[in-house]
Amino acid sequence: MALAVIGDAAAVTQLIGQATGLIAKIIRAVETARQNRVECDHLVCRVSSVHGVVYNLPPYQEMAPPLKVVNHTLEEAHRMVIACRNRGAASQFFGSRRIADCFSQINLRIAADVVILNLSLCSCMARRHSNQVLHPVPNDIGVPTSTIAMAPGFSSGSLQTQMVVSQSPSQVSSVSFDNPRALTGSEIAAATSFAVELGRGSSGRVYMGRLQFQHHGTVTVAEVAVKVLEKHGRHGVEDAFVAESNILSGLRHDHIVRLVGWCAEQEYRMLVYEHMGKGTLRDQLQQLGGCSSASPVTRSWDWETRVEMLLAVARAIHYMHRGADPVVIHRNVSSSNILLDANWTLRLSGFGSAVFQAAGEDEEHGAGGQLVEEVVGTRGYIDPEYNLTNRVNPASDVYSFGVVMLEALTGRPPDVYGVTLGLLVDSALPIIRMGNLREVLDGRPSPQPTRRQLDALDLVAHTASHCLWPGRQNRLPISHVVANLQTALQMIRSNEPVSWARID
């Protein structure tokens, strides 16, 4: 009898738990549905403001590229609104979280497009008044009187700027890699028309430009990449800007991308880097982008080249962890953040999520790590321990680099493998750990690898496997990774047998 009463009580407690869970779910869904309406209202506001800007644009040919991007985004916004209007109330309610995300994404994209439209106009005007200097300046009421008529409802906190044309001759002083410096809006406007997009990342879009460089007294004009930071999800523009300008301007290494300067005028935050003309390591491994059949890398994209490139990245990471003061943790090492310049020199980039190691956190592979507010990084590369605990340390970069090594060995992307969707680490690593490297080895560099190549690649695979332990105290220190890759390269290059010891 007593047992039956206890049984009934447990069942009732379970039902109460279920009911409160459901109530919480419903409240959350109603809140999201309400938020959707707010996002929808924002969309209407943004779209009408874009209308105001676009309607009054001068019909300059240079404005075509940013206008095409705006039109593309507007078409998507239109499709979304139609889809949303045609969905039944019930399906809107149940899919409300997804709808909220889509609306907020499209709002951010429209905002970013308008920034680019304004910057392009600044740049275009600067070119048309080549002996005049243009400064984007804030306007009390946000209405740019001279060039762009404002849409009703735009406030001074909006993305609009006013063009002020001063009569002094345009004087863009040179830049140098040795001394990255603050650049003015007019210098950026003279450097790029924002017409050629080089790529997009989680913190912004990157455009082609040209700047005058000074090196040992010689002045040359060279291509640069201008990144316009934009608000994206929870990542603040300011955080990415401060991280990248502060951290990158202090780093000097042959295999780390070089910052030329930065611009922080009003709401604009821009970073200027040397131009890396041959795309990303990911593109190269996938034979995309700048990887034409005529490319020397494609033709000689053999095992020696791959190991050489891995060694270059490992040296860059070693410098951040052991040579830089304070130590820098990149937090987003991936093959898309490894870029190649016109001479095929490889450099690590994407420092928007990097952090300085906090004082006292000097254990490279300790169980701890510094607590960060948000886990950032790229799917497929994130250290599982950091993902679980929000604590990051240099061993998190070692893990991500382990994934890059797997990509170089298998030629596969980090998050799709074979017929099933999944992470490369989960599918390829167990095979490698069972000693069957050849089953997953990329066949493109050499269909029949030599004995010496196989031995060297075995060492690379062994090293990758020791970077990829879930527990960070078991992972190899980056100095051991560098030593093993050096040995592997020596083995591939040498005609003589190389005596070597792998370092675990």
Ligand X SMILES: Nc1ncnc2c1ncn2[C@@H]1O[C@H](COP(=O)(O)OP(=O)(O)OP(=O)(O)O)[C@@H](O)[C@H]1O
Task: Name the minimum Å distance from CB 243 to ligand X.
Answer: 10
Cis omega before residue 326 (within 30°)?
A: yes
Site for ligand X in 206-225 (CB under 6 A): 206, 225
Task: Name the minimum Å distance from CB 154 to ligand X.
Answer: 27
Stretch that binds ligand X, among 51-59, 122-130, 274-282, 476-484 (CB under 6 A): 274-282
Neighbouring residues of 471: CB distance < 8 A, sequence distance ≥ 6: 385
Tell me how far CA of residue 2 lies from CA of 8, 12, 14, 242, 386, in angstroms: 10, 15, 18, 66, 48
For the chain, how far is it from start to end, CA to CA, in angstroms? 64
Selection from 278, 257, 247, 417 nearest residue 341 by Cα: 278
Selection from 228, 232, 166 nearest residue 198 by Cα: 228
Is residue 175 close enough to count as binding ligand X by CB under 6 A? no
**Binds ligand X by CB under 6 A, chosen from 199, 323, 366, 384:** 199
Task: Name the minimum Å distance from CB 112 to ligand X.
Answer: 12
**Binds ligand X by CB under 6 A, chosen from 34, 72, 98, 200:** 200
Binding mask 331-360 for ligand X (x = CB under 6 A): -x---xx-x---------xx-xx-------
Stretch that binds ligand X, among 311-319, 330-338, 355-363, 468-476 (CB under 6 A): 330-338
How many residues at the interface with ligand X, by CB under 6 A? Answer: 23
Q: Nearest-5° angle of CA 211, CA 214, CA 218? A: 120
- Does 227 count as an annotated binding residue? yes
Nearer to ligand X, 269 or 475 (CB): 269
Determine how β-strand 268-274 pairs with β-strand 416-417: unpaired
Task: Name the minimum Å distance from CB 353 to ligand X.
Answer: 6
Selection from 125, 145, 143 nearest residue 135 by Cα: 125
Nearer to ligand X, 203 or 410 (CB): 203
Residues listed for the chain: 504
Nearer to ligand X, 353 or 357 (CB): 353
DSSP symbol at 323? I
Task: Name the minimum Å distance from CB 380 to ligand X.
Answer: 13
**Binds ligand X by CB under 6 A, chosen from 191, 276, 432, 467:** 276
Nearer to ligand X, 123 or 353 (CB): 353
Nearer to ligand X, 35 or 298 (CB): 298
Determine how β-strand 181-182 pairs with β-strand 259-265: parallel
The token duo for 227 is 């990144």
3-state SS class at 448: coil
Is residue 136 close enough to count as binding ligand X by CB under 6 A? no
Task: Name the minimum Å distance from CB 174 to ligand X.
Answer: 19
Residue 152, Cβ neighbours under 10 Å: how many? Answer: 9
Is residue 273 close enough to count as binding ligand X by CB under 6 A? yes
Is residue 198 close enough to count as binding ligand X by CB under 6 A? yes
Sign for the CA dihedral angle at 26, 27, 32, 38 comes to positive
Provide the phi-psi class of 345: left if phi over 0, else alpha when psi is between -120 and 50, else beta: beta
Whose CB is nearest to ligand X? 201
Site for ligand X in 371-430 (CB under 6 A): none
Is residue 275 close enough to count as binding ligand X by CB under 6 A? yes
Q: In whole angstroms, what is the distance from residue 38 CA to residue 25 CA? A: 20
Nearer to ligand X, 376 or 428 (CB): 376
Nearer to ligand X, 353 or 484 (CB): 353
Tell me how far CA of residue 267 lies from CA of 43, 138, 208, 238, 282, in angstroms: 20, 9, 21, 10, 32
Rounded to a whole number of angstroms, the CA Rg of the chain reads: 27
Residue 205, burial from CB neighbour count under 10 angstroms (0-12, 13-18, 19+)? buried
Site for ligand X in 251-270 (CB under 6 A): 257
Nearer to ligand X, 50 or 340 (CB): 340
Residue 139, Cβ neighbours under 10 Å: how many? Answer: 16
Stretch that binds ligand X, among 158-166, 203-211, 308-316, 489-497 (CB under 6 A): 203-211
Nearer to ligand X, 346 or 491 (CB): 346
Nearer to ligand X, 202 or 486 (CB): 202
Nearer to ligand X, 227 or 466 (CB): 227
Q: Nearest-5° angle of CA 221, CA 224, CA 228? A: 140
Residue with tokens 């990144």: 227
Task: Name the minimum Å distance from CB 108 to ligand X.
Answer: 13
Residue 143, Cβ neighbours under 10 Å: how many? Answer: 16
Is residue 69 close enough to count as binding ligand X by CB under 6 A? no
Task: Name the minimum Å distance from CB 9 to ligand X.
Answer: 52
Task: Name the minimum Å distance from CB 211 to ligand X.
Answer: 13
Q: How many CA atoms lie within 13 A of 90 on its CB side?
A: 0
Task: Name the minimum Å distance from CB 269 to ligand X.
Answer: 12
DSSP 32-99: HHHHHHHHHHHHHHHHHHHHHHHHT----GGGHHHHHHHHHHHHHHHHHHHHHHHS-HHHHHHTHHHH
Task: Name the minimum Å distance from CB 270 to ligand X.
Answer: 12
Is residue 280 close enough to count as binding ligand X by CB under 6 A? yes
**Binds ligand X by CB under 6 A, chosen from 36, 203, 335, 484:** 203
CA dihedral 99, 104, 105, 111 (to 10 degrees): 150
Q: Which residues bind ligand X (CB under 6 A)?
A: 198-204, 206, 225, 227, 257, 273, 275-276, 280, 332, 336-337, 339, 349-350, 352-353
Binding-site residues for ATP, in ranges, read 227
Binding-site members are 227
